[in-house]
Structure 1
Amino acid sequence: MRQTLGRSVPACGLLLVACLLTTAASAQTGGEGLSPTLANIKKTHVVHLGYREASPPFSFLDQANRPIGYSLELCEAIVDEIGVEVDDANLKIEYVKVTSDDRIPAVLQNKIDLECGSTTANAERAKQVAFSPLMFVAGTKLMVPKASNISAATDLKGKTVVVTKGTTNEQAMHNVDKKFSLGLNIVTAGDHEQSYQMVVDGKADAFATDDILLYGLIVRHKAQDKFKVTGDYLSYDPYGIMFRKGEPQLAAVVERTFHKLGSNRDLIPLYNKWFVARLPTGEKLNVPISPQLEEAFHVLNDTEGTSN
């Protein structure tokens, strides 16, 4: 690697999202010259990657407080492709911490070039930013103490649920609250770690976020005997790498990276590295790739990437 500075969902829905995200990137391609982001990277020789501190296995800190994860490794592959595009094989990476609440502003305000976390690509966000092809799909579930009698959203009547500020899970819980007239006390925390801690401290009855993030937090804290993930999916959340929209060349570079990874059959081994094998921090999620996501990766292999 380079030098640096600083659960079940419909297959048709998953493939549709994969196609939509790829189409969105393709639609921005065309035009001459370097886009603003690429021009600045060529000038400074630095790519700014936004990372999350507590979103394992997508983006988190190792024992030496260095950012690592599945999303970051995908971003590093994009950086390699950017190097080809701007003719600079020695680009450096500067990591910039972001949260759920400030990650989109960080992209819009040019503080980061790529957001490498666990961000849901949806139509509302696509009005402001662009997304890579599909890299994962998750959905909102609940983390509760093992002794809790909560097994579904309808068991939350009158209870306190914590969500991380700035996530799609917050709106999902408001929708559930309204749909079932639960009278929920929905509170927010600054990041996933803080949300998790609220349940640990008994300040919330449940933590609602994407299921894979809940599993990751439980494993990282070695708390499998204390907490469980429960309930049906309360939302559908396809993940993508986020970057500035309206930049044809940058969009093409991001899409080309994913198609190269797909054609080289690197995506599934990369998934297994972070979701099935033991993590560099010692934990093991052991979450095999779903047939739907595997098929979405095959779609990238079967279609040609966009070229400038």
Structure 2
Amino acid sequence: MATNTLKPLGLACLLALSLAACGGGDKTAGAAQEGSSAPDQAAAGSTIDKIKKSGTIVLGHRDASIPFSYIADNPNQPIGYAHDLQLKVVEALKKNLNLPDLKVRYNLVTSQNRIPLVVNGTVDLECGSTTNNLERQKQVQFSNNFFVVGTRLLTDKATGIKDYADLKGKTVVTTSGTTSERLLKEYNDKNKAGINVISAKDHGESFLMLQNGRAQAFMMDDVLLAGARAKSADPAKWEIVGTPMSYENYGCMMRKGDAEFQKVVNDTLSEMFKSGEVNKMYAQWFEQPIPPKNVNMEFPMSDKMKEIIANPNDKAADE
């Protein structure tokens, strides 16, 4: 739940058609696109075998899922809460596999291509703002959940919009390929709500449509709305409203049927939950000023979030 713009380095790699051009050093930006000819899981073997053989792990990242996975100052270096979780998995792999020189390659993903790129072997692990649901579990494996959100609305305070019932005759934007897009369209059809639903390619474009008046509300996971608000020129202008239409669990994605790799990821998350390290990380990204504008999201930990820390599980929100 981000644009699919090619990084300059990635474009050079494609033009050169050379693995050497893309190999780079540690933390090189990847540029694989949807439909890449990377091998599927059956051909590649286990993810851990693939990592051992290549000496590299490919991490999927977003460019606008604040504060989970996004680009701030350095276009080749994603940052964020979920990205920090990925890096903890990398550290565990270095130790468990005795690979101190394990390299990290980054691959930008979008709402539309993130699942295909995990399925076809281009991306080994994607921790961003991906909802763990039953439909997606048919295609990919999820880690234990690491976040819980509610689907709500972001709007200009001046509109007077307070809940979904206030949207009749209004235009509401959501991001293409997300759970919110499906939920909003279902709500509109079922209730004959009279909402003009439009979809943008990523969260950044969705918020831009809200800012320039093309839409009167932006529906998405509440924490992502808080991130968009924090990044805006005037955060005080915008408010998050509405009774959550659903609750969503975020999990890290990996290829289906790879229990060995899933265990490494889950063990890493569980250790962070048990030790309390996750609480410090949460405070860093949700309760303190964050890049690029050093705005505090002011998003305290919810009771539902505390529940998944106390009782780790990989259940889908719609299970």
Shorter-chain TM-score: what band?
Answer: 0.7 to 0.9
Of the three residues 107, 123, 132, the one matched with 2:143 is 132
The DSSP-based 3-state class of the residue aligned with 2:264 is helix
Q: How many Å apart are 1:47 and its aligned residue?
A: 0.9
Aligned equivalent of 2:82: 71
- Verify the 8 A CA contact 2:119 2:256 in the aligned structure 1: no
Of the three residues 223, 229, 235, the one matched with 2:234 is 223
291-300 or 141-150: which moved more?
A: 291-300
Aligned equivalent of 2:212: 201
C-alpha distance in 2, partners of 1:74/1:296?
15
Aligned equivalent of 2:164: 153
1:115-164 CA distance string (max 9 Å, x none): 12101101111111111111111111111112102211111113221110
- Verify the 8 A CA contact 1:138 1:212 in the aligned structure 2: yes
C-alpha distance in 2, partners of 1:273/1:90?
28
Aligned equivalent of 2:18: none
The DSSP-based 3-state class of the residue aligned with 1:147 is helix
Aligned equivalent of 2:316: none
Q: How many Å apart are 1:35 and its aligned residue?
A: 5.1
99-108 or 216-225: which moved more?
A: 216-225
Aligned equivalent of 2:98: 87
Q: Stretches of 4+ moved more than 4 A in 1?
A: none
- Verify the 8 A CA contact 1:107 1:115 in the aligned structure 2: yes
- Verify the 8 A CA contact 2:288 2:298 in the aligned structure 1: yes
Of the three residues 94, 98, 120, the one matched with 2:109 is 98
C-alpha distance in 2, partners of 1:111/1:300?
28
Are the structure 2 counterparts of residues 48 and 205 from structure 1 closer, same or farther at C-alpha, using a change threshold of 3 Å? same
Q: Which amino acid aligns with 2:56?
A: V
Of the three residues 53, 59, 63, the one matched with 1:53 is 63
Q: Which amino acid aligns with 1:288?
A: P
- Verify the 8 A CA contact 2:289 2:297 in the aligned structure 1: yes
C-alpha distance in 2, partners of 1:109/1:86?
24
Alignment coverage as a number of residue pairs: 273
- Verify the 8 A CA contact 1:263 1:300 in the aligned structure 2: no
Q: How many Å apart are 1:300 and its aligned residue?
A: 4.4
C-alpha distance in 1, partners of 2:307/2:136?
25
The DSSP-based 3-state class of the residue aligned with 1:81 is helix
The DSSP-based 3-state class of the residue aligned with 1:229 is strand
Aligned equivalent of 1:259: 270
Are the structure 2 counterparts of residues 249 and 35 from structure 1 closer, same or farther at C-alpha, using a change threshold of 3 Å? farther
Q: TM-score, normalised by structure 1?
A: 0.84
Of the three residues 237, 246, 259, the one matched with 2:257 is 246
Indicate yes or no: 2:301 matched with 1:297.
no
The DSSP-based 3-state class of the residue aligned with 2:261 is helix
Q: How many Å apart are 1:180 and its aligned residue?
A: 2.2
Flag structure 1 segments of 5+ consecutive residues without an equivalent: 7-33, 302-308
Give me the identity figure in percent.
Answer: 38
CA RMSD of aligned residues (A): 1.9
Flag structure 2 segments of 5+ consecutive residues without an equivalent: 1-24, 30-43, 314-319
The DSSP-based 3-state class of the residue aligned with 2:204 is helix
Aligned equivalent of 2:28: 5
1:218-241 CA distance string (max 9 Å, x none): 111132232221111012111111
Of the three residues 213, 227, 232, the one matched with 2:243 is 232
- Verify the 8 A CA contact 2:72 2:78 in the aligned structure 1: yes
- Verify the 8 A CA contact 1:176 1:234 in the aligned structure 2: no
